[in-house]
């Protein structure tokens, strides 16, 4: 029995080593093949849910406000109802909708989806004083039905899709903008993958620094970023030193830009 367990752990170590080597190669290829554009727009977004609580969100806001950086907070209705004062603190930046209950919208009927979107939008508007024009689906899972509901409700953009995963998503209505989450070789540049599953903060922030294309959209969760607050702030300051333009999702939609 001990021999079997030993073989399992050795096999696991080989898998982890293989993943790490692959990620290092990805980073090497990124730096070798990139071409710096004339303008670089970076969008920082945070999916805020009850699991984030108060302290993690405060850590994020501390960095965002102290470095005077644009960002977008996609907030669930449940979080806003439980922590209304935190939504008011976030309102110095763009507030957008992340649904009410964080349930997969593809598992709900149309009336339930419309109810989630309407109640969340009104609550966030009342607390932040902003018109809520953006949406990101829980788990980044969205279908054409939900996109049509967003379009009919007058949203300006959706930000649910993962870049390079287009074959998994429906066609977006022509009157609704889509701002996809950036990826590298098909791996989403969002913190759950890199900080929770792969546990590679140094590699993750190095890749974010080196992802030099015209528009990059990075997805974070406060309870993950708060554990790496100093690295996150160093990443922001690094980009600021390289003349990157930080912009909110709302700000991007207001640009005369072909990237939407």
pLDDT, tens only, 39-49: 899 999 999 99
| Whether 73 contacts 222, CB under 8 Å | no
Would the pLDDT of 70 be above 70? yes
Q: Helices in 34-130 by DSSP H: which ranges?
A: 55-66, 77-82, 84-90, 110-128
Return the half-sphere exposure (C-beta side, CA atoms, 13 A cut-off) of residue 143.
9
What beta strand segments (E) does the chain contain?
A: 41-48, 72-75, 94-97, 134-135, 157-158, 177-178, 183-184, 187-188, 215-220, 245-246
CA-to-CA dists, residue 181 to 11, 32, 33, 136, 158, angstroms = 33, 23, 21, 10, 11
**pLDDT category, 226, cuts 50, 70, 90?**
very high
> CA 204 to CA 223: how far, in whole Å?
16
Q: Determine the average pLDDT of the residues in 197-205.
A: 95
pLDDT value, residue 255: 87
Average pLDDT, integer, range 212-231: 96
| Better-scored residue on pLDDT, 10 or 240 | 240
Rounded to whole angstroms, the Cα distance separating 166 from 155 reads 21
Sketch the domain layout of the chain as residue ranges. 1-33, 38-253
Q: Is the pTM of this model over 0.85?
A: yes
More confident: 63 or 2: 63
Q: Which tens digit of pLDDT belongs to each residue from 147-169?
A: 999 999 999 999 999 999 999 99
pLDDT > 90: what percent of the chain?
80
Note whether 183 and 163 are within 8 A (CB). yes
Q: At the fourth CATH level, which superfamily is domain 38-253?
A: Glycoside hydrolase/deacetylase (3.20.20.370)
């Amino acid at each position: 029995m001990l021999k079997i367990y030993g073989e399992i752990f050795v096999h696991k170590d080989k898998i982890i080593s293989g993943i790490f080597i692959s990620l290092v190669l990805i980073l090497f290829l990124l730096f070798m093949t990139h071409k710096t554009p004339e303008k670089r727009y970076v969008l920082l977004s945070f999916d805020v849910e009850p699991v984030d609580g108060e302290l993690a969100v405060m850590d994020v806001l501390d960095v965002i406000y102290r470095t005077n950086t644009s960002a977008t907070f996609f907030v669930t209705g449940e979080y806003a109802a439980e922590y209304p004062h935190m939504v008011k603190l976030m309102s110095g930046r763009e507030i957008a909708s992340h649904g009410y209950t964080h349930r997969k919208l593809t598992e709900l009927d149309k009336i339930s989806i419309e109810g989630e979107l309407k109640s969340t939008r009104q609550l966030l508007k009342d607390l932040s004083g902003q018109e809520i024009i953006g949406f990101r689906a829980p788990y980044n899972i969205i279908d054409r039905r939900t996109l049509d509901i967003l379009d009919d409700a007058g949203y300006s953009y959706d930000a649910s899709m993962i870049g390079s995963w287009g074959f998994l998503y429906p066609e977006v209505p022509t009157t609704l903008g889509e701002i996809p989450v950036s990826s590298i070789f098909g791996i989403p540049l969002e913190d759950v993958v890199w900080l929770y599953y792969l546990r590679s903060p140094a590699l993750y922030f190095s890749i974010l620094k080196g992802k030099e294309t015209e528009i990059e959209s990075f997805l974070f969760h406060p309870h993950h970023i708060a554990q790496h607050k100093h690295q996150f702030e160093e990443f922001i300051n690094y980009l600021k030193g390289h003349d990157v333009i930080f912009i909110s999702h709302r700000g991007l939609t207001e640009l005369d830009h072909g990237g939407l």
